[in-house]
Structure 1
Amino acid sequence: MEFVVVIPARYASTRLPGKPLADICGKPMIQHVYEKACLSGASKVVIATDHQKVFDAAKHFTNDVLMTREDHQSGTERLAEVVDLLNLSEDTIVVNVQGDEPLLSPDNVSQVATLLAQSTAPMATLSVAIEERDEVFNPNAVKVVSDINKNALYFSRASIPFDRSAMMAEQQPLNLAPFQRHVGIYAYRAGFIKQYIQLSVSPLEVLESLEQLRVLYHGYAIKIEQAVVTPHAGVDTPEDLAKVVAHIQSKARE
């Protein structure tokens, strides 16, 4: 099985300006992500950026970097441009890896690519078990429910599935076993990426602010299974960055 990894790397970030270039133990963040993705077994790993500074920095460690347009409204639109620029065949499996995950697990990248390859679905993603009660009710933690065939049924910021017995009885403990948090890594068939951006925006994705709901709304399948490695959190703030630096320094001392 062959697959391509694309790492979108936007320079602009409200909470951490120039995020892809943030220094982590002597390397820009985007280089850490690239090197982890290269360990996944991908036939090609490509960085797609909208900023010259990121392009120039990436050129110091790889030639597989593309300059893309600045006016894309979503990461999927940027991905569609990359598919065109690379002239990928419609059946090529493309894994979209976020550029702000320097602690990315290569095993999860290969897992989501394999999950898609072994199905006829146009798209696949991963989840992890929820282990803290507060996360069930945290709207920033996207929950997902799936069927017996590993098809996602719905994604929501609400606490799904709704545990009626526990929710209606205030003193009854909540069983966390059914709850899964969505992990934002996706594998697509290249042809579907271009098809996706032609689909009309769904009312569900607007309500939940979850782009993947457009796929389900239009009747397409999304394969999902639990990640083999529980992912570390990405970097959104200076505090997140400090935690990643401390983690890598700690690992280096072991």
Structure 2
Amino acid sequence: MRVLGVIPARYHSQRLPGKVLLPLRDKPIIQHVYERARQVFGDDLIVATDDMRIVDTVEGFGGKALMTRSTHTSGTERIGEVAERFIYDAYVNIQADEPFIEPDHLRRIVHLLAKYPLVSLVTRIHRLQDLLSPSVVKVVLDKEGRALYFSRTLVPYPRDLPLTSPELIARYGYYRHIGIYGYHRSVLMEIVALSVAPPEEIEQLEQLRWLYHGYSMWLQEMPYRGIGIDTTEDYEMAKELAEALL
């Protein structure tokens, strides 16, 4: 199976514009992501963006970048445009704001794609603050490891415990979503044509569109120690983590 790694990268992110070009230990964030992903995909890796500043940066450190339309509303839609130009059996959506992304996570996605057409990863939640944070996307799985629902709020809701109870972590197994996706080409081209779903509009989570329209997504648990950079606070935390992880 031929798999293309794609890093969708917008410049005008809502909360921290230009975040993928911010420096982290003397390299832009996008370069850290690219170099880690290249360990898995080699030359089958490309950044898909809507801004020449990102293209110039990526090409400046020897990477490959493609200008795409500015009208895309999600990374998956941007990868759909890439798939129109580059024909592969499957595609992996790699978050551009995850400088500590684990190559083993990407390898696991590729491994899962050999069996399932739409895949992603989860990890256990160990901190109460993550459990209650709307920035940490929670996911409920069925007994086969397929996603039932994703939410920014706490699901399943613990009827018999207060939300501030530390027992929530100990008594129940909650998962957070690791935002890496893998799609077979046929599924990718179908889901980018789907209409927006009501739960997606409420939660602002694109994967809810796929579940709403009847697609199954298989997820596998992996350890996770990274951080997605969405805010100035995240960036400051990433600079501290970089001393240990980069």
Identity %: 39
Amino acid at match of 2:142: D
Question: 2:197 aligns to what?
Answer: 202
Question: 2:103 aligns to what?
Answer: 106
- Report whether the alignment pairs 1:140 with 2:135: yes
Count of residue correspondences:
245
In the alignment, structure 2 segments of 5+ residues that lack a partner are: none
Q: 1:96 aligns with which of 93, 96, 100?
A: 93
Question: 2:34 aligns to what?
Answer: 34
Question: 1:165 aligns to what?
Answer: 160
With over 3 angstroms needed to count, the CA separation of the structure-2 counterparts of 1:242 and 1:199, relative to structure 1, is same
CA RMSD of aligned residues (A): 2.3
Question: 2:80 aligns to what?
Answer: 80
Question: 1:66 aligns to what?
Answer: 66
With over 3 angstroms needed to count, the CA separation of the structure-2 counterparts of 1:113 and 1:36, relative to structure 1, is same
State whether residues 4 and 41 of structure 2, in contact with CA within 8 Å, keep that contact through their aligned partners in structure 1. no
State whether residues 5 and 42 of structure 1, in contact with CA within 8 Å, keep that contact through their aligned partners in structure 2. no
Q: 2:232 aligns with which of 238, 242, 253?
A: 238
State whether residues 29 and 99 of structure 2, in contact with CA within 8 Å, keep that contact through their aligned partners in structure 1. yes
With over 3 angstroms needed to count, the CA separation of the structure-2 counterparts of 1:216 and 1:42, relative to structure 1, is farther
Aligned-pair distance for 1:209? Answer: 2.0
TM-score, normalised to structure 1's length? 0.87
Select between 41-50 and 172-181 the one with higher mean Cα deviation: 172-181
CA distance in 2, matches of 1:129, 1:219: 26
The SS at the match of 2:196 is coil
With over 3 angstroms needed to count, the CA separation of the structure-2 counterparts of 1:147 and 1:245, relative to structure 1, is same
State whether residues 4 and 42 of structure 1, in contact with CA within 8 Å, keep that contact through their aligned partners in structure 2. no
CA distance in 1, matches of 2:129, 2:231: 21
The SS at the match of 2:210 is helix
Question: 1:18 aligns to what?
Answer: 18
CA distance in 2, matches of 1:18, 1:208: 24
In the alignment, structure 1 segments of 5+ residues that lack a partner are: none
With over 3 angstroms needed to count, the CA separation of the structure-2 counterparts of 1:15 and 1:211, relative to structure 1, is closer
State whether residues 5 and 41 of structure 2, in contact with CA within 8 Å, keep that contact through their aligned partners in structure 1. no
Question: 1:46 aligns to what?
Answer: 46
Question: 2:218 aligns to what?
Answer: 223
State whether residues 34 and 63 of structure 2, in contact with CA within 8 Å, keep that contact through their aligned partners in structure 1. no
Select between 13-22 and 33-42 the one with higher mean Cα deviation: 13-22
State whether residues 145 and 152 of structure 1, in contact with CA within 8 Å, keep that contact through their aligned partners in structure 2. yes
Q: Name segments (4+ residues, structure 1) moved above 6 Å.
A: none
Q: 2:118 aligns with which of 111, 119, 123?
A: 123
